[in-house]
Amino acid sequence: MKKLINIIKKIITNKFKIKDIKKKKKINIDSLEKIELIMILEEKFNIEIEDYEAKNLNTLKKITKLVFKKINKISHEKK
């Protein structure tokens, strides 16, 4: 999980130039940037994030939790 947090943190930091990302602190990006972030995450992790799931993705913790859930779901389906 820590590795996943670091990967997502790096994506956000590099793409949106946000320096100080805390787990529970709201990430200050606009709606277009949020869509872009979701597209990057979907491509990077080979997952699909539904609109209703994306609605409340505004902290590193929430983003990581959802991506982790999606990755685990995919790995369980392949077994």
Which amino acid would we find at residue 45?
F
Question: 9 with 21: CB under 8 angstroms?
Answer: yes
pLDDT value of residue 76: 66
| Domains, in order of start, for the chain | 2-78 (1.10.1200.10)
CA distance 70 to 3: 16
CA distance 36 to 79: 31
Q: What pTM was computed for the model?
A: 0.87
Q: pLDDT, tens digit, for every residue of 53-63?
A: 999 999 999 99
Residue 25's pLDDT band (cuts 50, 70, 90): confident
User: Left, alpha or beta for 8 (phi > 0: left; psi -120 to 50: alpha)?
Assistant: alpha
